[in-house]
Amino acid sequence: MEFVLYEGNGAVGTITINREKALNALNSQVLDELDATLDAVDLETVRCLILTGAGAKSFVAGADIGEMSTLTKAEGEAFGKKGNDVFRKLETFPIPVIAAVNGFALGGGCELAMSCDIRICAENAVFGQPEVGLGITPGFGGTQRLARLVGAGMAKQMIYTARNIKADEAYRIGLVNAVYPADELMAQAQKMAGGIAKNAPIAVRNCKKAINEGLDVDMDKAIVIEEKLFGGCFETEDQKYGMAFFLDKNKEKVKEPFQNR
């Protein structure tokens, strides 16, 4: 892969968009490589992913404006679909994905971060949807995901004004969960991912599915989704072990890793 790196560290995998010269802007090749990287993740071993950008300056500075500038309507639609398909794959990926936003997250970069389950960022992070200043709408889900994350009013303000916001404001409006000094960001992402990875993997996956799928339907249907996924945890070895561990009053015992079974 030329533009996407993958590094495994036990149960945590890190994907790095690696096109630093263009501030990690997303061209078709980056999107294809990200898609292939996700397909290759070993879901038997890996229980949480971190997504970040190469270098100290940028997470992803958007879709590649050079590549987009000459697109026809049909090509624009196809490019939008390519991005939406891979972003949706990320959003519905069976295991949690943490975006570690290390700088610019603009346009498609902000949309990429919003396709992840959790966003944390460095103090130098900048978020924005500048598309209307380029004569287009956000095209990788920005109009939908930003409104769901920060509310319609704030999303409309950010999108209509095309104004970038800094890390502290992103934190205040709930776009990111935490802000760290740049040199601590990846360690904090690893720490959070490690904490997720040590919990029962089938239960964590079912939680992701329940939250994502429940948000798309009314509460009566959402509760049924939760019931089924809750039920799906029973009879797993991990459920039996987790509950037996709690019920065993022997204070000397040490918790074993969950087996993903």
Q: What residues are annotated to the active site?
A: 111, 131
Q: State the nearest-atom distance from the C-beta of 150 to ligand DAK, in Å.
A: 18
Does 141 contact ligand DAK by CB under 6 A? Answer: no
Give the residue, chosen from 53, 80, 96, 201, that forms a contact with ligand DAK under the rule CB under 6 A. Answer: 80
Give the residue, chosen from 11, 15, 17, 25, that forms a contact with ligand DAK under the rule CB under 6 A. Answer: 25
Does 195 contact ligand DAK by CB under 6 A? Answer: no
Q: Is 73 exposed, middle or buried (0-12, 13-18, 19+ CB in 10 A)?
A: exposed
Q: State the nearest-atom distance from the C-beta of 1 to ligand DAK, in Å.
A: 19
Residue nearest to ligand DAK (CB): 139
Rg of the Cα trace of the chain?
Answer: 19
Does 162 contact ligand DAK by CB under 6 A? Answer: no
Which range, of 10-18, 41-49, 77-85, 233-241, touches ligand DAK by CB under 6 A? 77-85
Which range, of 4-12, 36-44, 55-63, 199-207, touches ligand DAK by CB under 6 A? 55-63
Task: Name 215's Cβ contacts closer than 8 Å, sequence gap at least 6.
Answer: 148, 222
Neighbours of 242 (CB within 10 A): 17
Does 107 contact ligand DAK by CB under 6 A? Answer: yes
Give the residue, chosen from 30, 48, 101, 106, that forms a contact with ligand DAK under the rule CB under 6 A. Answer: 106
State the Cα–Cα distance between residues 106 and 113, nearest whole angstrom.
Answer: 10
Does 161 contact ligand DAK by CB under 6 A? Answer: no
Give the residue, chosen from 13, 53, 108, 141, that forms a contact with ligand DAK under the rule CB under 6 A. Answer: 108
82 versus 209: smaller Cβ distance to ligand DAK: 82
Does 62 contact ligand DAK by CB under 6 A? Answer: yes
Does 201 contact ligand DAK by CB under 6 A? Answer: no
Which strand ranges, in their side-by-side order, compose the sheet holding 58-60?
Answer: 58-60, 104-106, 126-128, 165-166
Give the residue, chosen from 12, 22, 150, 197, that forms a contact with ligand DAK under the rule CB under 6 A. Answer: 22
Give the residue, chosen from 5, 41, 136, 173, that forms a contact with ligand DAK under the rule CB under 6 A. Answer: 136
What region, left, alpha or beta, does residue 115 occupy, with left being phi > 0 and alpha being psi -120 to 50 degrees?
alpha
19 versus 208: smaller Cβ distance to ligand DAK: 19
Which strand ranges, in their side-by-side order, compose the sheet holding 4-9?
Answer: 4-9, 12-17, 48-53, 97-101, 118-122, 178-180
Does 33 contact ligand DAK by CB under 6 A? Answer: no
Binding footprint of ligand DAK on the chain (CB under 6 A): 22-23, 25, 61-66, 76, 79-80, 83, 104, 106-108, 130-131, 134, 136, 138-140
